[in-house]
Amino acid sequence: MAGSGNNAGQQTFAQKFASRKVQRYLVIVTFMFVPLLLLLVFTYVPFAKMVQFSFYDMKYIGARHFVGLKNYVDVFKRSDIFGSLFVSVYYMGGAVLQLALALFFATMMVFKVKGESIFKATMFFPYLVCGIAVGFIFKFFYARGYVLDTILTMFGMDPDNIPLWLQDQKINNFSLVATSVWRYTGQNMVLFLGAMMSVDTDLYEAASLDGANKWHQFRYIIMPSIKSIIVLNLVLSISGSLSAFEPPYVITNGNMGTGTYFVIMNRLAHENQRVGLACAMAIVLLVIIIICTVAQKLFFKYAFNDGTEDESKAAVKRKKLEAKKKGGA
Amino acid sequence: MKNKKLLSLGLAVSMVFTMTGCGSNGDGGDSGSSKNTEVPTIDKIKLGEDYKDLKADITILTDRTDIVDTTYKGYAEKFKETYPNINVTYEAITDYAESVTLRLTNGDWGDICFIPDSVEKSEFSNYFIPFGDHSVLNNTYNFVTEKTYDGKVYGIPNGGTAGGVAYNKKVWKEAGITELPKTPDEFIKDLQLINDKTDAIPLYTNFSAGWTMGAWNDYVGIASNGDPDYKNNKLLHQKDPFTKNEENSGPYAVFYTLYEAVKQKLVEEDPASSDWESSKKRINDGEIATMVLGSWCVNQFKDAGKHPEDIGYMPFPITIGDKQAAASGGQYAYAINNKASADNQIAAMVYVKWLLEESPIFDDEGSIPALKGKELPESLSEFDGVELLSDNAPAEGEESLFDDIRNTAEVLSGDYPVTEVLEAALYGKKSLDDLMKEWNQKWTSAQESYSVEITG
């Protein structure tokens, strides 16, 4: 490019090779090669294989038969598979509650409370415990006559009135969702808190001088500043709740009507060796997650508007109008 | 600058070479100084005489994480007394069936493993070497039929189990039961007696462990109808196998037993929070009266507490005609890697033979010996007068058909279908007859998809 343009047109290969442009590409390619290779080998190739498998009737080993779209038809026709998506609704409800709680606690901590770091650490701690261990903790927590039952009887509840937390189909999904809320609230809170820290504290002072109470400060200062983090967390929790796996798998093994989509997928793939069907399920789930994510993005763009965008839009409109006027004059 | 370039060039070259090194590893196994190229069949080996100068290090994969460093290590050491040049290393794998299925596909997994259930018979020759011809080995060893394909035996079980019911003798006696039940209804009546007269849980389902529910599938074979041809040859071709019959035998009776026990609340109060590990001690202590599991569990129950003498084992309560029958089947079967070097294959063959014929493994595990003519373990003494049968081999060309059909039908495969029975009874939403009708439909449509001939 700039450094070697003296006798353009007659460059030897060596000169070309030494030129800055080529060298720059070389450096870029060399540095990108390893990560791209890893990405390709461990993400895209397996994914392409999965798409391919979803059109076959196959086991892990043994012959494969091409069956076209039959697996996809089965995903939508079988009540156990499609019904399991409704179990995810519980987890979505849990996700919303979890974000609200996290936002609440994070806001409390932004306004200087006593023992802030202890609270923060205690709330964040569950996230550090591995999901399988959390499952086992709660398996015993909910078991008949164990932790939860004991606590409730201590507070004077009649043991005969305590429901079977994991067996009663009216409440067992709530029990499971509660474990995942318990686990992730702290992590969401820390994320929110991190974003809130970047808000200039002078703004709170200025706002309170103008007579804004804490709610106003939250609504008009904090919320707009951390909007992108809220959206991100919501997207992550909704897609996470569609793919909820650990609590039902460890605690109830997906029985008693608690089987989420992933648990059913795991069962079909590993117990019945219906790999093709499980791959089709995975792809259907991917599509559902994409749809959910896009829908949320759109929702936040149009429905959950903090007003600032209107201003800037209005400003753009005004400028355009002015330009028109000038042009017209 | 130049040095750096050289360095990087060198690095790149060495990386390329290490990669080619990986590539050639697969078939480099027998490039050593091996003299033996011919691997003998297991019946040709004379223990303590042949191959005493063979030098080899062999690795054996096992699922028994609990005894790998004690009992199994002891076998390896004892074996070394006869064969000082063969080193045996045990590798315990926690999530055995799944991890080994994956590891089998690349040949580099060791020398001996237990064949995971997911490997189909037609695949055996891709991973394992044959121990010999079925017609020869069947005279010497029990249970070889299960892992035979095309007349060759690819796996020999490390012992067998009988299908029955584990119970606490003391509790059953306290309830006033003097004679063991012979039909599902008698069994339920006895459970009711236990419920009324003792504090024990009559039948512990171990629902939440999952595989303990899958164990019920095992009684569909011989225990439910006394026919060794049933599971591999008749069930496949049967129209609506889950229909009720007058005698109350057959597959229906197996699930009837579970359904009724749950429906009449003769099981633990909260199956969802049942716990396998503690249940072993509780049946030993008499807090649990009965569990439906294979005979392998007996020794574990005995070891779990202070009352080993209370643990008994009885046949499954179904009577066909006037007889009871019990399936005796092989446990996990040893198989030898076909990608190992010839020396290792021979050493592995010798070790397997030694385990089957000279090690105390059958006494240690309370299992039916794989070598024919050895005595039954004491724990199975109540099977007097009960026919102990093993499933006959499937017809030629239908070796993997039973697996195909039950996997496609998603009935009799894995734990989930049995949990369906328990849930139906627990919530009272579905009658057993309706559920069995569904299973019949699933079975029929799976039969259709493999175009199986329906004969009876």
Mean pLDDT of chain A: 86
Residues of A in contact with B207 (CB under 8 A): 255
The whole-angstrom distance between A183's CA and the closest CA on chain B is 21
d(CA A203, CA A253): 50
Tens of pLDDT, residues B319-338:
998 888 888 878 889 999 99
pLDDT of residue A273: 85
Q: State whether residue B305 is helix, strand or coil.
A: coil
Between chains, do B98 and A270 touch, taking CB under 8 Å as contact? yes
Q: Which of A60, A164, A255 sits opposite B423 (nearest CB)?
A: A255
Q: Which of B101, B271, B414 sits opposite A60 (nearest CB)?
A: B101
Q: Is B27's pLDDT higher than 70? A: no
pLDDT of residue A151: 92
Selected residue of A81, A273, A275 to mutate for chain B interface (largest B Cβ count, 10 A): A273
Q: Choose the CATH number for A70-302 among 1.10.1060.10, 1.10.3720.10, 1.10.10.10, 1.10.8.590.
A: 1.10.3720.10
Q: Is A328's pLDDT higher than 90? A: no
- Structural domains for chain B: 37-159+331-367 (3.40.190.10), 162-329+396-449 (3.40.190.10)
Greatest mean pLDDT among A22-26, A37-41, A120-124, A194-198: A37-41
d(CA B308, CA B312): 9
Q: Which residue has the higher pLDDT, A213 or A302?
A: A213
Report the chain B residue with the minimal C-alpha distance to residue A166.
Answer: B272
Q: Which of A61, A164, A271 sits opposite B270 (nearest CB)?
A: A164
Tens of pLDDT, residues B193-209:
999 999 999 999 999 88
pLDDT of residue B22: 44
d(CA B116, CA B96): 8
Between chains, do B272 and A172 touch, taking CB under 8 Å as contact? yes
Q: Does B164 touch chain A (CB under 8 A)?
A: no
Q: Does B417 touch chain A (CB under 8 A)?
A: no
Mean pLDDT of chain B: 86
Other CB atoms within 10 Å distance of the CB of residue B223: 26
Q: Does B328 touch chain A (CB under 8 A)?
A: no
pLDDT of residue B34: 46
Q: Is A5's pLDDT higher than 70? A: no
Q: Which residue has the higher pLDDT, B120 or A151?
A: A151
pLDDT of residue B19: 47
Mean pLDDT of B129-136: 92
Report the chain B residue with the minimal C-alpha distance to residue A67.
Answer: B449
d(CA B452, CA B446): 9
Report the chain B residue with the minimal C-alpha distance to residue A259.
Answer: B416
Between chains, do A167 and B120 touch, taking CB under 8 Å as contact? no
The whole-angstrom distance between B449's CA and the closest CA on chain A is 12
d(CA B418, CA B211): 10
Whole-angstrom Cα Rg for chain B: 25
Supply the angle between the helices A79-110 and A70-77 in degrees, to the nearest 10: 70
Between chains, do B118 and A273 touch, taking CB under 8 Å as contact? yes
Tens of pLDDT, residues B32-78:
444 567 888 898 888 888 888 889 999 999 988 878 888 899 999 99
The whole-angstrom distance between B355's CA and the closest CA on chain A is 30
Q: Which of B98, B271, B415 sits opposite A167 (nearest CB)?
A: B271
Residues from A in contact with B at Cβ < 8 Å:
59-62, 139-140, 142-144, 146, 164, 166-167, 169, 172, 252-253, 255-257, 267-268, 270-274
The whole-angstrom distance between A125's CA and the closest CA on chain B is 26
Domain ranges for chain A, please list them.
Answer: 16-48, 70-302
d(CA A60, CA B407): 13
pLDDT of residue A311: 58
Non-local CB neighbours of B194 within 8 Å, separated by 6+ positions: B171, B172, B175, B177, B200, B202, B266, B289, B290
Residues of B in contact with A274 (CB under 8 A): 407-408
Between chains, do B407 and A62 touch, taking CB under 8 Å as contact? no
pLDDT of residue B30: 40
Non-local CB neighbours of A177 within 8 Å, separated by 6+ positions: A90, A91, A93, A94, A247
Q: Is A125's pLDDT higher than 70? A: yes
Residues of B in contact with A273 (CB under 8 A): 118, 407
Between chains, do B273 and A169 touch, taking CB under 8 Å as contact? no
How many angstroms from the chain centroid is the CA of residue B442? 25
pLDDT of residue B99: 87
pTM for this model (two decimals): 0.73
Residues of B in contact with A146 (CB under 8 A): 273
pLDDT-based confidence at residue A310 (cuts at 50, 70, 90)? low
Chain A to chain B Cβ contacts (< 8 Å):
74
- Find where tokens 């580099």 sit: B108
Residues of A in contact with B427 (CB under 8 A): 169
Other CB atoms within 10 Å distance of the CB of residue B377: 20
- Find where tokens 């009507």 sit: A257
In this structure, the dihedral spanned by the alpha carbons of residues B140, B144, B148 and B152, taken in order and rounded to 10 degrees, is -20
Residues of B in contact with A61 (CB under 8 A): 101, 104-105, 118-120, 123
pLDDT of residue A99: 94
Q: Does B18 touch chain A (CB under 8 A)?
A: no
Read off the tokens for A212: 């804004």
Between chains, do B123 and A274 touch, taking CB under 8 Å as contact? no
Between chains, do A256 and B423 touch, taking CB under 8 Å as contact? yes
The whole-angstrom distance between B360's CA and the closest CA on chain A is 34
The whole-angstrom distance between A312's CA and the closest CA on chain B is 53
Closest CA to B379 of B368, B366, B391: B366
Selected residue of B273, B278, B279 to mutate for chain A interface (largest A Cβ count, 10 A): B273
The whole-angstrom distance between A281's CA and the closest CA on chain B is 16
Q: Which of B123, B207, B427 sits opposite A61 (nearest CB)?
A: B123
pLDDT of residue A278: 94
Residues of A in contact with B415 (CB under 8 A): 253, 271
The whole-angstrom distance between B417's CA and the closest CA on chain A is 11
Tens of pLDDT, residues B400-456:
888 889 988 889 888 889 999 999 999 988 999 999 999 999 999 999 988 888 886
The whole-angstrom distance between A13's CA and the closest CA on chain B is 19
Q: Which residue has the higher pLDDT, B111 or B362?
A: B111
The whole-angstrom distance between A4's CA and the closest CA on chain B is 21
